[in-house]
Structure 1
Amino acid sequence: MGAAQPVNFEALEAQARTLLAVFIAAGYEAVAPDIIQPAGVFLDVVGEALRGRTYVFTDLSGEELCLRPDLTVPTCRLYLQRHPHADREAFYSYNGPAFRFQPASADASHPREFRQAGIEAFGDKDASEADARTLVLMLRALQQAGLPGWRLRIGDVGLFDALLAAGDMPERWRRRLRHQFWRPDAFRAELKRLSSGPARSAASFPRALIDKLDPEDAAGAELLVTEYLDAGNVELIGVRSAAEIAEGLLAVAADAKAPPLKPDTAALIDAYVRTRVPAPQATTALRDLVGTGSERFAAALEAYDRRCMLLAESGVDIAAMEFSAEFGRSVGYYTGFVFEIVVDALGPTSPVGGGGRYDGLLKAVGAPRNVPAVGGAVHTERLLTVVRGGKR
């Protein structure tokens, strides 16, 4: 499909068997989640970058479905089918195809149909230990599969969340900055808007309606929006209800009345996301930047330190790892530690593997509560390309 070269499935399967053998030996049960998944589940949780690249279709019964764009969410759904109360530890491994739209100009490292071999761990009691174990197991499997060398880039969405929590700003602004965190350019544009003139966002909306909205009265706002639409003979078309439109306009109305983000808060956030240092230097750099006033940030730094210690004890050269504060990967469900495994032959836009912690994802797909979870996956076509020393 797309512009990718023909796939050598025999070589891919041999490679996948090598990876899975390492995962299974470490106690990760091999599973095979469904390829066709409910579209709504994916579109709600994967984030904007992946949502627009998901193949969605409607079956003959009218149900909206999709071809899975990754295997993490399907594995979460499989876990909940087995353990609906989400009260058991479970360790799964998998190998199979995933599907994402790619432009016709995409090279062989970005096919529309590709294969992932990976692991997911649910219900772990020690987050730092599980994070380190996941990355070490991924590296061990890649080494066993013949990958000659790699570079590691890590980040921590939990540190970013702790920084925002300590900042003096409305909660809706934290949600907006968190939402844009995955896209550096959009994030910086949003930070600039909030720190220079959040009221400007109201300029493109009907001033008479915005002035009437009370940010504390959601029910009244829905009524005002309905009356405004009726008066203008505007018919609701699409998936947004009057209540959802009112919710968005209430945020606009609140911004119209709000002062800009304080300069020191904006400067701190900007300096934080620009931090990029060798992993062992990150704690000192971030503590010097943020200070010791936030207990939540201090706790997140402590967890970061312990994770690095566990990685070093497992033989990982943490001095060669790069910590990038703005690195969050391209999907929206990560909540903590994130990592990518990069090789020079393919470059940073085509990582051979990656993953991270996603403690809120299981609840988003139906669990009764948040469940600690972490995982990682290998892009086996890319791995094969590097191992063979060229194009497949």
Structure 2
Amino acid sequence: MTETAASTGTAAWASALLASFAQAGYERAEPAILQPAEPFLDLSGEDIRKSLYLTTDASGEELCLRPDLTIPVARDYLASKRAGQVAGFSYLGPVFRHRGGLRSEFQQAGIESFGRQDRAAADAEMLALALEATGALGVKEVEIRTGDVALFNALIDALDLYPVWRRRLIKDFNRKVSLEQDLERLTLATGAGRNEYEGVLAALAGSDRKAALALVTDLMSIAGTAQVGGRTVAEIADRFLEQSTLKGGALPRNALGLIKRFLAVSGDADEAVAQLRALARDARLDIATAIDQLEARVGFMAARGIDVSSLRFSTSFGRGLDYYTGFEFEVHARGSGSEPLVAGGRYDGLMTRLGSATPIPAVGFAIWVEALTRIGRKPADSRSARTS
């Protein structure tokens, strides 16, 4: 196939895809290409800075070419008269990131759904539409990888850990190396030894972050300094909290074993539910609500014609973005390696972090158009895309 023919085929597929999304109730969104950089840096961390195309406006505000479309679509929704109401949007357009040897400008398509309270049904709809998108280009042999960060959060809450370790473990959940390191440190935490900050550590042991910030701020104010070694007050407070927690022994005796047992749960959805209920029963953990949500989601997926026995569920699966709060998924072409064709999930916490005064449920997915069209063979009727 020539490059022109391939481009024409991709354009036809993209047009048909957007039409199918519109028919499903998702109107076209076209957010500005130039975006404030702060939301991306705040939500993804300073590590993303090296991937952004940055500039500064006349007032000194840092701007960037949009690196994805989820945050821009969400910001436009929150700025509209429909903020807080049920609304769904689809999109197709360029995004910009430094990606090593790959092109820095590439196409992204997707859907964002806001305001729906029927979370399990909305989650299932996202996966069904994602599968329609891959099937529309002839990619039907797929692997569906799923997880649920809400289950991990429920487990950590049920274990009643010190606040510093609760925050640390939840933050590191999507960063597997960091989480493994944290678990190793928890294993080695013995409380042995003394250091020059003994009194401060004793004062902070078991406290929350607000109390630690207040104490460290007061101490640094007395010392007449705002930073030490380039670290802010908040970073220093977090470090003291971590040390005080480790000194006192971070976990109840069996908590580490329960976390590791939880992270080993995997298989098809029904197997995972059974393993999780057994864990909750054996350890007397109150995580039934999160398990019920998983089970309800699987039921809605089955009702949409998805072969749920083909889903690969793992409690350790995560997509590496802090703002996910529940269901997460990736769709891969079978045997294609680690690059996803479609990926997404639930991000209920994002809207308040973007300025909403009240929480707004949100879920969506993004399509890597280049990857999908490279693997796809030919456009097909989207109705054939559902797995059976």
Counterpart mapping for 1:299-314 below 5 A:
299-314=289-304
Residue aligning to 1:224: 219
Residue aligning to 1:294: 285
Are 2:325 and 1:328 equivalent residues in the alignment? no
**CA-CA distance at 1:99 after TM superposition:** 2.1
Stretches of structure 2 lacking an aligned partner (at least 5 in a row): 379-388
2:4 and 2:169 map into 1 onto residues whose CA distance is 41
Q: Is the Cα contact below 8 Å between 1:152 and 1:339 reproduced in 2? A: yes
1:247 and 1:10 map into 2 onto residues whose CA distance is 56
Amino acid at match of 1:352: L
Residue aligning to 1:41: 39
Give 3-state SS (helix, strand or coil) of 2:254's partner: helix
Counterpart mapping for 1:70-149 below 5 A:
70-83=68-81, 86-104=83-101, 111-149=103-141
Q: Is the Cα contact below 8 Å between 2:43 and 2:322 reproduced in 1? A: yes
2:8 and 2:57 map into 1 onto residues whose CA distance is 32
How many residue pairs are counted as aligned between the two chains? 368
Higher mean displacement: 262-271 or 309-318? 262-271
**CA-CA distance at 1:114 after TM superposition:** 1.9
**CA-CA distance at 1:92 after TM superposition:** 0.4
Q: Is the Cα contact below 8 Å between 2:174 and 2:319 reproduced in 1? A: yes
Q: Is the Cα contact below 8 Å between 1:18 and 1:145 reproduced in 2? A: no
Going from structure 1 to structure 2, the CA distance change for 1:132 and 1:256 (only over 3 Å counts) comes to closer
Q: Is the Cα contact below 8 Å between 1:225 and 1:246 reproduced in 2? A: no
The CA RMSD over aligned residues, in Å, is: 2.8
| Per-residue deviation, residues 215-235 of structure 1 (Å, max 9, x unmatched) | 2554342132244465xxx97
How high is the TM-score relative to the length of structure 1?
0.85
2:170 and 2:35 map into 1 onto residues whose CA distance is 27
Give 3-state SS (helix, strand or coil) of 2:331's partner: strand
2:242 and 2:342 map into 1 onto residues whose CA distance is 40
Higher mean displacement: 49-58 or 369-378? 49-58
2:61 and 2:12 map into 1 onto residues whose CA distance is 36
Amino acid at match of 2:66: R
Amino acid at match of 1:102: R
Q: Is the Cα contact below 8 Å between 1:335 and 1:358 reproduced in 2? A: yes
Going from structure 1 to structure 2, the CA distance change for 1:102 and 1:211 (only over 3 Å counts) comes to farther
**CA-CA distance at 1:149 after TM superposition:** 2.1
Going from structure 1 to structure 2, the CA distance change for 1:57 and 1:7 (only over 3 Å counts) comes to farther
Higher mean displacement: 48-57 or 160-169? 48-57
Going from structure 1 to structure 2, the CA distance change for 1:279 and 1:54 (only over 3 Å counts) comes to farther
1:236 and 1:9 map into 2 onto residues whose CA distance is 55
Amino acid at match of 1:174: R
| Per-residue deviation, residues 61-118 of structure 1 (Å, max 9, x unmatched) | 321112222111111001011137x3211110000112222223xxxxx543221111
Are 2:199 and 1:208 equivalent residues in the alignment? no
2:181 and 2:21 map into 1 onto residues whose CA distance is 42
Higher mean displacement: 314-323 or 66-75? 66-75
**CA-CA distance at 1:9 after TM superposition:** 4.9
Decide which of 155, 165, 169 is 2:161's aligned counterpart.
169
Higher mean displacement: 56-65 or 36-45? 56-65
1:235 and 1:289 map into 2 onto residues whose CA distance is 45
1:324 and 1:176 map into 2 onto residues whose CA distance is 21
| Per-residue deviation, residues 305-361 of structure 1 (Å, max 9, x unmatched) | 1111111111101101100111111222110011100113532x2000011000010
Amino acid at match of 1:98: V
1:140 and 1:43 map into 2 onto residues whose CA distance is 32
| Per-residue deviation, residues 142-190 of structure 1 (Å, max 9, x unmatched) | 2223223211111011111111111131122111011111111210111
Stretches of structure 1 lacking an aligned partner (at least 5 in a row): 105-109
Give 3-state SS (helix, strand or coil) of 1:291's partner: helix
Are 2:352 and 1:363 equivalent residues in the alignment? yes
Higher mean displacement: 271-280 or 156-165? 271-280
Decide which of 20, 24, 27 is 1:26's aligned counterpart.
24
**CA-CA distance at 1:194 after TM superposition:** 2.1
**CA-CA distance at 1:44 after TM superposition:** 1.1
Going from structure 1 to structure 2, the CA distance change for 1:170 and 1:236 (only over 3 Å counts) comes to closer
1:350 and 1:48 map into 2 onto residues whose CA distance is 24
**CA-CA distance at 1:195 after TM superposition:** 2.9
Higher mean displacement: 299-308 or 48-57? 48-57
Going from structure 1 to structure 2, the CA distance change for 1:220 and 1:317 (only over 3 Å counts) comes to closer
Residue aligning to 1:372: 361
Residue aligning to 2:372: 383
2:265 and 2:4 map into 1 onto residues whose CA distance is 40
Residue aligning to 1:107: none
Amino acid at match of 1:385: R
Residue aligning to 2:170: 178
2:55 and 2:191 map into 1 onto residues whose CA distance is 39
